[in-house]
Structure 1
Amino acid sequence: MGDKELAQKIIELVGTKDNIVSVRHCATRLRIVVRDKDKIQVKMIESIEKVKGSFFNSGQYQIILGTGLVNRIYNEVINIIGESNNADEVKYGNSFQRAIRMFSDVFVPIIPVLVATGLFMGVRGLLMQDAVLAILGIDAANIPESMLTFSKILTDTAFAFLPALVCWSTFRNFGGSPVIGMVLGLMLVSPSLPSAYDVGAGKIEPLLFFDYIKVSGYQGSVLPAFVTGVLAAKFECWVRKHIPDVVDLIITPFLTLLVGIVLALFVLGPILHWLELELLFLVKSILFLPFGIGGLLYGCFGQLFGIFGIHHIFNFLEISMLAQDGWNYLNPIGTCGNVAQAGAVLAVAMKAVSNKVKQVAYPSCLSALLGITEPAVFGVNLKFIRPFVCAMIGGGVGGFLASNLQLKATGMSITGIPGTLLYLNEQLPFYILVNVISFAVAFTITWFFGYNSKMETGTEKVEQEENNAMNKVDLNEDNKVVEIASPLKGEVLPLNEVKDEAFASGILGNGIAINPKEGVLVSPVNGVVNALLPTLHAIGITTQEGVELLIHIGMDTVKLKGEGFKAFVKQGDEIKIGQKLIEFDIDLLKSKGYCLDVPIVITNMMNYTEVVCTKETNINIGENLLSIK
């Protein structure tokens, strides 16, 4: 399945475009705010091959796709549904959830450039080591000045202009004009202002306004740029609503930049910069508690922040640390927790009896070692609870060692095996050591105390009970045969011949397919329309006996956006066998190159034991198509 097809499938399974309020993404997850989460078909989404899992957090439905893929799928989703509406998004979730989303939406887009900057710092640190310079036949004193300047361009630019990045992202997320936000951020680091770095080093004095307000640039500062960006973006929106359109182009940017820079330099900036420094001092004081206690606490309990969806707060802290000190003290401790999750999930995989558990756990181990822990955490460890606790212990041990060894990263956001790129200096052996210990401790404790087959059996029973409770229809307890008539006239095809992997593989349910000869779809049963997509190319039906059917007209016909389709029923309608449901223009679909195969599948097969398909190769409307036991 290609990226575009996967994006279309996700949109359909979360309740179509009409159910989506907004779409965002982080490093590994597609994060969707929906109007009605009951419309999300979670099991069908998680059954898609490229989906590593999903969960609800901070008012969002989050689909784990992994790095790289998530960016591509996000772009495809946006191409299909259009840009997300932030004004609508803020209405959903409580105040705490909205605040977490706000931090995430502002800081996540700028993380990739900071990751790249951290890697540049790591490479520079590696190349500047005496042993490496000796191999190159030079020493530190003889490095060309031009090369040093080039390395500074790579490593210093993003942090020097960090306020511009923060203001740009803030305006983008709060409805302002991103280019105005960018310029406002650049004003905060204007070369006309004394550099914050030089003022901090005592090389120059700050400017003095009104005899008592000291002003300097905000190089490497995050909080003043963030708050200024929020207020200025909201002010811009207010101005646009209250001035005539004819002068909007002139007045709005002028007032927004003027009010924004005055607030930043003379009112909010000095206070917020002081607050940011105090906050960093507090965090570092905790991390640097004697005897590695701070590392132990963060390595152990820091993993809980990800469960509650508030781990994006640490993005702000890590960015501030890198901007102020050039080092990230949270990364080496946090990565121990991630690697410990890998150790715990590997122990589960090796001890598991269920093939289903093994199939999830083994790939999750590799994923966690590469820095993507959601499949391990939400798919396995948290599900059984004890392995997650064992991983917390392993992370605490690793964090304790990392703190005592005073490890620090040159960047952020990458952990585990890729994280070695942030330690390309004399720290690398110690980084590897603490992670190996974290992995080994979590694996060992989980192996002996954290997992056994009884837990697995118990969990499967709980899952089955939950599935039964969620089903809206009763099981076919008396083992009656449910007959499904043909809704179409055409050629009968085995489901595995359908040119769509999701149907052909049986992921979406057992059934059959028909290549239609006429463009009329009728009801194959007496029942209720439980779903009718706005594009009219697919319909869901629940029979009187409780069988749930999905009928999908053609392959990729969602792209037609309803063209060539006409519905005669709506969602919630009661229907009778033989009643006309949908007409579709076969000639139009053929002329546009669409495959006409129509899969008819049972989506709640867990309630039934067998599906018997007709042996006929051609079928008429109303003839027996399927028998379900």
Structure 2
Amino acid sequence: MNHKKIAKEILTAIGGKDNVSAAAHCATRLRLVLNDESAIDQGALDNMDVVKGTFSTGGQYQIILGSGTVNEVYKHFATMTGLSEMSTKDVKEAGAKKLNPIQQFVKMLSDIFVPIIPAIVAGGLLMGLNNVLTAQDLFIDGKSLVDAYPNMADLAALINTFANAAFVFLPILIGFSATQRFGGNPYLGAALGMLMVHPDLLNGYNYADAMLKNEVPVWHIFGLDIEKVAYQGTVLPVLAASFILAKIETFLRRIVPSALDNLLTPLLSIFITGLLTFTIVGPLTRSAGNLLTDGIVWMYDTTGVIGGLIFGLLYAPIVITGMHHSFIAVETQLLADIAKTGGSFLFAIATMSNIAQGAATLAVLKITKDAKVKGTASAAGISALLGITEPAMFGVNLKLRYPFIGAIVGSAVGSGFVTLFKVKAVALGAAGLPGIISIRPDKIVPYIIGMAVAFAVAFTVTIVLAKRAAKKEANIRKEGIVA
């Protein structure tokens, strides 16, 4: 493989070196920030055997080349463009400047929540394991495994403690990540998160009950009554508090003399932010967060199957825009408040969309005679079934159009089905076949059936549309010959 020639052909196809403002590569893709994406010769890229697919997201134009190839091509590409070695983070920052305000907001949420997902996933999956041990009728009629085998009770209790940790102390994780994203010291953000879940405060989960009993503890300070209530399982309060903390710290760094900076800046930052959090910011955002959660649950319960159908139909188009990253914050809140919400319905709908995208891609694999498309579709289809849809969606389905239509139809039907049976997840995870472990034990069977429905509908619709497209093309050719 002539990597230098490939790099030259790609550079020509994307409009030359003057059209490239930033470039890096990950394990499989060239990640480019282009001055004008309309200058791309998409046909030329599609005809290159080495190019497995292309897509544009987050201000970046990405070209899928595959591991082992992309790094070699990038070396020559960087030399030809005159760009120095850049990291994917550098390219992300360059690409973010091209985003509109809404896209920038979504990217901000993504930057905050993506780093903490492993901790939430670990806790959620442990919660799912605990549910397997304690759920009645899952394996034994009228009993749970713990009921049948009492010696497993302590194991279930231990797993439950491990599972709850990430959600009980969620403000610490978000405080660290959010403060860092907003330009402050992440360790001050973590300290703020610790303050918001301090054991001296009333546990946030007991706040509603304490209010009904008029037993909410307060601080009496200079005539003010400040509620001593923690923020376990909340998202909005710590996001707002972290933003304020970062801005106060940044301001103080500019005005406090350097000799006193390390002493006064952390002290004043935490004190002022903490005071604002417990007097104004926390109560307001707690109420806003409760309204948001209640609104989402109400919408889900009210719209039912119709809402599931519409959401499933729109999920993949939302992914194309990148707006799906904003769902991470919503899912985190749903899972943190699982006693009220019962879990996240978004996960099940995301799974239906991913399965449908994979099914449509595998349908293309079955009917196409193009060797290059077959090679891309086989790997991309399996990847989508496991929860990673970008190669399938951007590399196959959107290019051919009809598989994408088949996929969103399959997603809509599957999403309507899982909504009918109130399928919800108790953890974040891979939204695909491996996601079974993330689902509430009593909803695993409907979840599996939903995946089968989404797959079957997407696969069938794609085959039908492919045959119609082929027949239409044949008629056009026939008419042209007759003419």
Aligned to 1:271: 284
Amino acid at match of 1:207: P
Q: Is the 8 A contact 2:425 2:438 kept in 1?
A: yes
Q: Kindly report which structure 2 residues correspond to 1:543-582, keeping only aligned pairs within 5 A, or say none.
A: none
Amino acid at match of 1:255: L
Distance (whole Å) between structure 2 residues aligned to residue 63 and residue 112 of structure 1: 27
Amino acid at match of 2:158: F
From 421, 427, 450, the counterpart of 1:411: 427
Matched residue SS, 1:56: strand
Aligned to 1:342: 358
Amino acid at match of 1:228: A
Q: Is the 8 A contact 2:363 2:463 kept in 1?
A: yes
1:312 positional shift:
0.5
Alignment TM-score, normalising by the size of structure 1: 0.61
Residues 242 and 89 from structure 1, CA distance in 2 versus in 1: closer, same or farther, beyond 3 angstroms?
Answer: farther
1:21 positional shift:
8.9
Could you list the runs of 5+ residues in structure 2 that have no partner in the other structure? 67-84, 475-483
1:378 positional shift:
0.8
Q: Is the 8 A contact 1:387 1:446 kept in 2?
A: yes
From 102, 119, 131, the counterpart of 1:96: 102
Aligned to 2:268: 255
Aligned to 2:457: 441
From 202, 205, 216, the counterpart of 2:215: 205
Aligned length: 434
Aligned to 2:242: 229
Residues 193 and 358 from structure 1, CA distance in 2 versus in 1: closer, same or farther, beyond 3 angstroms?
Answer: same
Aligned to 2:117: 111
1:353 positional shift:
2.4
Q: Percentage identity across aligned positions?
A: 32
Aligned to 2:383: 367
Matched residue SS, 2:56: strand
Matched residue SS, 1:289: helix
Q: Is the 8 A contact 1:19 1:35 kept in 2?
A: yes
Amino acid at match of 1:218: Y
Distance (whole Å) between structure 2 residues aligned to residue 367 and residue 402 of structure 1: 22
Matched residue SS, 1:312: helix
Aligned to 2:418: 402
Residue 293 (structure 1) aligned with residue 306 (structure 2): yes
The Cα offsets for residues 411-435 of structure 1, whole Å up to 9 and x where unpaired, read as: 1241111101113623222111011
Q: Is the 8 A contact 2:112 2:174 kept in 1?
A: yes
RCO comparison, higher one (Cα < 8 Å, 6+): 2
Kindly report the root-mean-square deviation, in angstroms, between the aligned alpha carbons of the 2 structures.
3.9
From 364, 367, 370, the counterpart of 1:354: 370
1:54 positional shift:
4.0
1:230 positional shift:
1.7
Name whichever of 130-139 and 205-214 sits farther off: 130-139
Amino acid at match of 1:369: L
- Larger Rg computed on CA atoms: 1
Larger fraction in strand: 1
Amino acid at match of 1:95: P
Aligned to 1:59: 59
1:97 positional shift:
2.4
Residues 84 and 196 from structure 1, CA distance in 2 versus in 1: closer, same or farther, beyond 3 angstroms?
Answer: same
Could you list the runs of 5+ residues in structure 1 that have no partner in the other structure? 67-79, 459-629
Residue 420 (structure 1) aligned with residue 436 (structure 2): yes
Q: Is the 8 A contact 1:87 1:175 kept in 2?
A: no
Aligned to 1:126: 132
Q: Kindly report which structure 2 residues correspond to 1:95-174, keeping only aligned pairs within 5 A, or say none.
A: 95-129=101-135, 139=147, 142-143=150-151, 146-174=154-182
Q: Kindly report which structure 2 residues correspond to 1:488-499, keeping only aligned pairs within 5 A, or say none.
A: none
1:211 positional shift:
5.4
Q: Is the 8 A contact 1:58 1:100 kept in 2?
A: no
1:409 positional shift:
0.8
The Cα offsets for residues 601-623 of structure 1, whole Å up to 9 and x where unpaired, read as: xxxxxxxxxxxxxxxxxxxxxxx
The Cα offsets for residues 317-370 of structure 1, whole Å up to 9 and x where unpaired, read as: 100000012511211122111111111111122111222221111211101100
Amino acid at match of 2:216: P
1:99 positional shift:
1.4
Q: Is the 8 A contact 2:59 2:95 kept in 1?
A: no
Distance (whole Å) between structure 2 residues aligned to residue 384 and residue 366 of structure 1: 18
Larger fraction in helix: 2
1:395 positional shift:
1.0
Residue 244 (structure 1) aligned with residue 257 (structure 2): yes
Alignment TM-score, normalising by the size of structure 2: 0.78
Amino acid at match of 2:120: L
